[in-house]
Amino acid sequence: METTATILHADLDAFYASVEQLLDPSLRGKPIAVGGGVVLAASYEARAFGVRGGMPGRKARELCPQLIFVGGNFGDYQRLGDAAIKVLDDFTPVVERISIDEAFADVAGCTHLFGSPREIATTIRRRVRAELGLPISIGVARTKHLAKIASQVAKPDGLVVVDPGTELAFLHDLPVGLMWGVGPATKARLAEIGVETIGQLARTHSGALTRLLGPAAGEKLSALSWNRDPRRLETKRRAHSAGAQSALGQKPAVARVIVPTLLHLADRVASRLRAKARPGRTVTVRVRFADLSTVSRSITLDQPISATTTLAEIAGDLVRGALADHPHEKTISLLAISVSHLEESAELQLELPLGLADDKRRPGTRKGLARFGADRAIDKIRERFGKQAVGYGTVALEAARSVPDEFRELAQKEL
């Protein structure tokens, strides 16, 4: 581990909402939310009323009657997010971008050029504000995990540098929910055993954490609570899987809901796989029920796939299997598909016409090749005329989309 704090975590504040306020000055200082049926992002003024991303629009309006909803300017989000990361690139080549609006940077090799890590972070914040008109918070520490926590503490529009000698004193008084990997469910489980701060987590016996969270999560969180994080920055991050999910609210677990939703999700996932020529072997589905309990099912195939209809059919089989194992569950709130074990330009193994029951799902059969050919034709039409120009049947086009695909695509990692 480094002996000095040289890792920066830079995070644009309330990014989507801040961009909207930048584009329309009349919105500045007002509670705004990007979205409509669902809150995609909220300004700090709206967050003061309890409005949060992912919240139904109706509930957000109840919490904040003066809330202003705006449509997303997705192209501007991408443009300004790229520009902010470019400011980091001007100081160091060791930059790991983890989303459209945040990135790590290691400035250990450039302090002789630009000053101390604190001075570099100060300059970055000043440039992003002056050149882009956006607020950005930065945390500086020896480890990635602590730098990310420091940037959260710095919000909004601040800078926090954690000196090596003060790390545990800084870390242990903070709420456990700030930790990387502690979501609402894990936070609730920890609260059941009286763990609400990172210091309390650090003092909890590893066996108790293992029993509560499982061996992998328990060991990881225990190490992070003591600031043991040996991870280095990855300047060329690539996703090891591609996935998509759809929050449904409260819908009956019936075919008229499941089939179009899975086809829409499969379309989003498979088109990404084809665009990068990275078919995958393992298909996983996730089903969330009304009580927020979740089940997953997966299958690993003989050959990697990237055909939309094939992926949708396999996902459908897995979802039906999950529902059959939980016959008492009649309502679903979320469906998700992911494909992993991706391959690099896999060579297609052609198959003899043996008339197998799953011929159309096998990439190397005549029917499998026909499906892939149809997908590629759709891809080309969309490249020229836009994604809404053609789809996979009216049933898919009628699927409910509470969150625009353009918004989801901003969060996708490079395959």
Amino acid in the structure at residue 395:
V
Active site residues per annotation: 102
Q: Please report, for residues 84, 90, 326, 413, the alpha-carbon distance to residue 251 in angstroms, rounded to integers and kept in the order given.
A: 40, 49, 16, 29
Which of 196, 189, 119 has its CA nearest to residue 161? 119
User: In this structure, how many other beta carbons lie within 10 angstroms of the beta carbon of residue 215?
Assistant: 11
Task: Decide if 179 contacts 165 (C-beta within 8 A).
Answer: no
Q: Are strands 39-42 and 32-35 parallel, antiparallel or unpaired?
A: antiparallel
Q: Is 76 annotated as a binding residue?
A: no
Q: Which residues pair with 42 in a beta bridge?
A: 33
Q: Please report, for residues 51, 107, 163, 223, 283, the alpha-carbon distance to residue 2 in angstroms, rounded to integers and kept in the order given.
A: 39, 12, 12, 17, 39
Q: Which residues pair with 68 in a beta bridge?
A: 32
Spell out where 262-378 has E strands.
Answer: 280-289, 294-305, 331-342
- HSE-CB of 324 using CA atoms within 13 angstroms: 7
Separation between Cα atoms, residue 58 and residue 65, nearest integer Å: 10
Task: Decide if 374 contacts 316 (C-beta within 8 A).
Answer: no
3-state secondary structure of 407: helix
Buried b / exposed e over 155-183, threshold 16 CB at 10 Å, is: bebbbbbbeeeebbebbbebebbbbeebe
Q: In angstroms, how far apart are the furthest CA atoms of the chain?
A: 69
Q: Is 291 annotated as a binding residue?
A: no
CA angle 257, 258, 259 (to 5 degrees): 100
* Per-residue tokens: 228: 């043991």
What values do phi and psi take at 56, rounded to 5?
-60, 140
Binding site members for Mg(2+): 11, 101
Residues in the annotated binding site:
11, 101
